[in-house]
Amino acid sequence: MTNNEPMVWAEGVMKSFGSLQVLKGIDLVVDRGQVVCLIGPSGSGKSTFLRCINNLETIDGGWLSVDGELVGYNREGDCLIELREKEAAARRAHIGMVFQHFNLFAHKTALKNVMEGPVAVRRMKKDAARDLAMDLLDRVGLKDKADVFPNRLSGGQQQRVAIARALAMEPKLILFDEPTSALDPELVGEVLQVMRDLAKGGMTMVVVTHEMAFAREVADTVVFMDGGVVVEQGSPKEVLSAPKMARTQDFLQSVG
């Protein structure tokens, strides 16, 4: 079933932690096959917004849908009814997520990490899941590390396994939360290369990142956030090379 709605559609999304309002009305549209990079200073709410998209954080106000389905809620008339846990989990399964600190399952080998979603959530047969996982590990260049536990992998390798784990769910959309921030400088390239390939393959991606060169090269849209709002968005050229807003200019100058 294809529909014409954007992959991610956010209008006036709000989120507070206690009395601290982190998101103050985010508007953002991500079209199918697009790569959107979220940039901004720490504390600007970009990671929180990303976590809202797959309902790891529930929103307090506004509208947020992925592929035409509301995130975390069902609409009944004028009300948004919180989803049952089962439905919430089912919707999440179609949205991949890659974390800053990889979060590979520490008690499972690389192969088992990738198999976990297909087996536990998609109810695939073990053999089929193993074949799928091997293919994906091959795709991220780690076929030979299939039986290695995460603590024996480098950061870059761990992150590539994490990407394979997300791909194993055949997601419509992958969210990247600062995927290279925890890596040693010489390992950043291998992860970005995998992400570049994904983008070329037509995957819809929302990437929180500090890698300006990557954003310039791969992103269709760059979104600059600060203080819980979107300050400026547009093509990489517009936002990164010729920012209109003073806050964007300041930030880009400080990042260098």
Partner 1 sequence: MTTVNKEAPRHPSPGAGKRSERESLKIVRRTSYGRLAADTALALFVFGLIWMSATNPNFQWDVVFKYLTSAIILKGLWTTIELTVISMVLGTIIGVFLALMMLSEDRWLRSFVAAYKWLFRGTPLLVQLIFWFNISALYPEIDVGLPGGETLFTLSGNAITPFMAALLGLALHESAYMAEIIRGGILAVGQGQSEAATAIGMRRLQVYWRITLPQALRVIVPATGNQVILMLKTTSLVSVIALPELLYSAQTIYARTFEVIPLLIVASIWYLTICSLLSVGQYFLEHKLGRGFRSTN
Residue ranges that bind partner 1, judged by CB under 8 A: 54, 56, 85-86, 89-90, 92-97, 99, 101, 103-109, 116-117, 120-121, 148-152, 162, 165-166, 169
Three-state SS for 151?
Answer: helix
Query: Least distance from C-beta 94 to partner 1, angstroms?
Result: 8
10 Å Cβ neighbour count for 93?
14
By beta-carbon proximity to partner 1, the closer residue of 21 and 100 is: 100
CB-count exposure of residue 243 (10 Å: 0-12, 13-18, 19+): buried
Which helix (H) or strand (E) segment holds residue 10: the answer is: strand 8-17
| Cβ-based nearer residue to partner 1, 7 or 161 | 161
- Give whichever of 130 and 165 is closer to partner 1, judged by the CB atom: 165
Give the DSSP letter of residue 96. E
Q: How far apart (Å, rounded) are the C-alpha atoms in residues 163 and 98?
A: 6
Q: How far is the CB of 48 from partner 1 (least distance, A)?
A: 13
Q: Give me 144's structure tokens.
A: 């030979």
Q: CA quadruple 95, 101, 144, 199: dihedral positive or negative?
A: positive
| Closer of 79 and 106 to partner 1 (Cβ) | 106
> Closer CB to partner 1, residue 116 or residue 232?
116
Least distance from C-beta 96 to partner 1, angstroms?
8
- Residue 198 Cβ vs partner 1, minimum distance, rounded to whole Å: 17
Instruction: Please report how close the Cβ of residue 120 comes to partner 1 at its closest, in angstroms.
Output: 6
